[in-house]
Structure 1
Amino acid sequence: MGVERLDRLLARLGLGSRKEVGRLIRRGQVRVGGAVVLDPGFKVGEGALLEVEGKPIRAFRHLHVLLHKPGGYVTSRTEGPSVYALLQGFPTRDLSPVGRLDKDTEGLLLFTTHGELLHRLTHPRHKVEKRYLVHLERPATPEDQRAFQEGLLLEGERLLPAKLVLGEDPTRVELVLKEGRYHQVKRMFAQRGNRVLYLKRLALGPLELGDLPVGAARALSPEEAAALYQAVGLGGKNP
């Protein structure tokens, strides 16, 4: 990042448009290194400690945004309704999705400006876990658990071992994968003679969807970004 204009940096971090953050700055609502800055063009260095309306943030090179994707939206820039329409206030031109969720699938969808992080989070070699809530047409069984754990043979290809968690209601299960193939969850259960009625991603590696409202998006905290980097062997890099 080097140095960057204060108004551009705050807009890139999702704190409003350049015009909106410019007004914040001129009202004295932004501090850099503890000092009030009134000039939107003030140059900010990487790692600088900022305060916006009393809330501390760090100026980092890359931006990572977590979206609670609703059903009915597509992970695409060219088709609609697009998940990018939900990233209000964020620089959507610079953000790429970490994998995709089907139109009818809900839950955690991560966007990032960091190409190497994106690659490592999606490549099977790094075995980043993805946890899903799955509603099924009929109950899952211990035999399904064993088949998934052994690595299901799907259209001639052996999948990585997956963990199927059965609760009190075996039509409501959790599934943990370490890869992300096309329609994988639906195809896995179809292979076992079952049908997915509802699918929601709850977690990606160390990231949890938590109580983020459906359709809402937020920037990751520095601690969350650092945990992601650590999970894929980029622990020494600046998030």
Structure 2
Amino acid sequence: MAKSMRLDKLLGHCGWGTRRQLKELCKGGHVFVNGQCCRDSAAKVNPEGDQISVDGTTVVYEAFYYLMMNKPAGVLSATEDRCSRTVLDLLPQQYQGAGLFPVGRLDKDTTGLLLLTNDGVWAHRITAPKKHIDKIYIAEVDGSIPDDIDDVFQSGIVLADGLQCLPARARKIEEQTVEVTVQEGKFHQVKRMCAAVGLSVRALCRHTIGGLRLDETLRPGEFRPLKEEEREFPFMNK
């Protein structure tokens, strides 16, 4: 049986406003629970069993959200920032009170597949290096891609600061394009790995996490909820 929760907490989770705004919304007679006007924003409700509406619009409660975003360049993989836009700023109001956060991070100028959720256990399963989840990037580079780049990356390349990377993979796609597969996410890792073999990354895009590939219909900045079966795709390395 679902636990009861405060009405204002449920409405806030679903993006209907701040606690103060919701208090006024209830006082104004805009909120109904099981067909009855509820003017007490602190009233206890059952998120699974009670029918809740605001001005005739049914409130749909989901405890956890799982979103796929095509992250654009120039946006931070963070929940908030005083100076720059974050990926959460790209989401509509309905998600703003749900406690969403990016699963791992992409650099500000890196684009592509980014997952957002409020399910910490699910996120940890994806980001923990010991889970060995492949993250696949396409890097456009300046410089000559070494013929032995895959051997070098598979050996566990050592970065300029002495950091030892886990074994990774690399595949030359075109003269200035290389696909890189890593299972960890250290700071600027793919760029630093490329720099270690004489390559400068001009553009970087992540397109796959495990068995989950970026939906090519999503334009930069767009997102969609994951289908239920897709939630397990990150744990299925191709």
TM-score (norm 1): 0.71
Confirm or deny that 1:74 pairs with 2:80: no
Which one of 58, 61, 64 corresponds to residue 66 of structure 2?
Answer: 64
Q: Is the 8 A contact 1:98 1:109 kept in 2?
A: yes
Which one of 45, 48, 57 corresponds to residue 48 of structure 2?
Answer: 45
Confirm or deny that 1:188 pairs with 2:193: yes
Quick one: distance in 2 between partners of 1:172 and 1:105? 15
* Paired residue secondary structure (1:85): helix
Q: Is the 8 A contact 1:141 1:170 kept in 2?
A: no
Q: How many residues align structurally?
A: 202
Go from structure 1 to structure 2 and tell me whether the alpha carbon gap of 1:9 and 1:107 turns closer, same or farther (over 3 Å shift). Answer: farther
Which one of 165, 169, 173 corresponds to residue 159 of structure 1?
Answer: 165
Quick one: distance in 2 between partners of 1:206 and 1:100? 18
Confirm or deny that 1:222 pairs with 2:225: no
What is the alpha-carbon root mean square deviation over aligned residues? 3.3
Matches within 5 A, 1:115-126: 115-126=120-131
Unaligned runs of 5+ in 1: 19-36, 47-57, 233-239
Confirm or deny that 1:95 pairs with 2:131: no
Per-residue deviation, 1:219: 1.1
Quick one: distance in 2 between partners of 1:39 and 1:202? 48
Per-residue deviation, 1:131: 0.7
Go from structure 1 to structure 2 and tell me whether the alpha carbon gap of 1:60 and 1:224 turns closer, same or farther (over 3 Å shift). Answer: farther
TM-score (norm 2): 0.72
Confirm or deny that 1:105 pairs with 2:116: no
Per-residue deviation, 1:85: 1.2
Quick one: distance in 1 between partners of 2:36 and 2:213? 37
Moved over 4 A (4+): 1-5, 8-13, 37-44
Per-residue deviation, 1:136: 0.4
Matches within 5 A, 1:191-206: 191-206=196-211
Percentage of pairs with the same residue: 32
Q: Is the 8 A contact 2:143 2:198 kept in 1?
A: no
Structure whose CA Rg is larger: 2
* Paired residue secondary structure (1:157): coil
Go from structure 1 to structure 2 and tell me whether the alpha carbon gap of 1:92 and 1:127 turns closer, same or farther (over 3 Å shift). Answer: farther
